[in-house]
Each structure stands twice: as C-alpha cells, then as structure tokens.
Amino acid sequence: MCGRYTISTPYQQLALRFGVREPLDSIGPRYNAAPGQLLPVITNDHPSTVELFRWGLVPYWAKDPKIGHRLINARSETAAIKPSFRRAWRRRRCLVLADGFYEWQNRPGGKQPLRISIQGEEPFAMAGLWEHWHDTEGQDLRTFTILTTEPNGLLAPIHNRMPVILARDYEKEWLNGPTNEVTLNEMLGPYRAKEMKFHPVSTRVNSPQNDDQGLIVATRQAATLL
C-alpha cells in the first residue's frame, strides 16, 4: 500500500516536468503527505492544471465522507469492478504528483521507515482515481485514491504492495481513459527496480504532525538493512 509520501519538488519545476500551470492555491513542500490532506493532482478533466484534492476517495454515493479514510488506496487489479472505484475508473483518472514515498520494514527492533524514490530524485506520477462528492447542503468535496500493484524486486522484501508509478510515456494515456488489457497490465505493473532506490529515515515520520525536510534525510542504519 501507500500510506505516506513526499512532494517537495518546487511547483515551478513540477509545472515544467508535467507541462501544466501551477495551482492557484499553492502550498509549500510536503515531506510527510498523509491521508486527509489537500495534495496536488492532475485530472483528466483539467489536464493542463495542478489542483489540490483531498487524499482518501469518497464515492459519489457515500452518506458519510469519513469513508475516505478507508479508501486511500485501490488495488489496480480489481479497481475496475469494485463499487467504490468502478465509476472513477471509467470516468475520473488522475496523476498524483510525488517525488518519494514511505514504507515500513519489519525488523527485530521494530518497524524501520524507509523513503523510496526514483534515481536522481526526479518527480513522478502515481496513477490515481478521483471523485466528486456532494453533501446535503451542496458542498463539493474532491478526493482521490492511489492505485497499488505488486512490488518490484527491490521492494518485495519490504512490502507486498507498492504504488503504481507511471512511466512518462503512459502518463497522458492513463488520463485519456480506457485502454486495451495488454497496455493496462504493462502500464499498471511494478515500476522498474533498477531505476529506484531507498534509504532508512527517522521514526519521526510515523507522526503526520511532523512535516519538515529532516524527515527525508538518511539515518545511519542503512548498512544493516536487508
């Protein structure tokens, strides 16, 4: 799964990387992006703009938006048929902008948080789905979920799932809608292990209240991992 990530790349750089305009309501870097927060996405409805949506998908039919806390991830293998995600799969796709994500490795002394990123610290897009939800007073809530897939060889010893990181060539194709099964399987499969890296970070990342640059700095425990 993906329960925490980073998006610290300046928005000017993100705009150049993804060929979009900066968000109107810009926020600062996030070193510990967590569910329930407003975070940057690019949707199929507005592919030339970065928008801020809340992490944790609330289906259009939901009676209580709190359901979003349970829907921060969607399995790419089954999202097309799950009631919570199937309409979004057909109509509402997005790119979730990131430059790293966290996972926790079980170790004898407890769980060690790791920050996982692309070689060169390049920003990337995770495949996402988004939804509109309206309460009884007409308030509009826009939310998203992150698709997950099986882990690659680098991450398999750490966790049994990883977020779907889209290759650059597939970013626009994902937004454009349904594609054939062969393309989807390749698009939504695990990202290439040789192009990824990870390092241990402070357990301060365990609390979403901590959100500073020190969270992504490698600790001295790297030599003892795996």
Burial of 102 (0-12, 13-18, 19+ CB in 10 A): buried
Instruction: From 88, 116, 7, 100, select the one nearest 52 (Cα to Cα).
Output: 7
Any catalytic annotation for residue 94? no
CA distance 171 to 203: 33
Q: Which two tokens stand for residue 65?
A: 């938006």
Any catalytic annotation for residue 2? yes
List the strands of the sheet with 5-7, edge to edge.
30-33, 5-7, 100-107, 110-118, 196-200
Task: Choose the catalytic residue: 51, 77, 94, 103.
Answer: 103
Regarding beta strands 140-149 and 162-163, do their DSSP bridges make them parallel or antiparallel, or are they unpaired?
A: antiparallel
Regarding beta strands 38-43 and 196-200, do their DSSP bridges make them parallel or antiparallel, or are they unpaired?
A: unpaired
Task: Choose the catalytic residue: 2, 94, 131, 171.
Answer: 2
Catalytic residue set: 2, 103
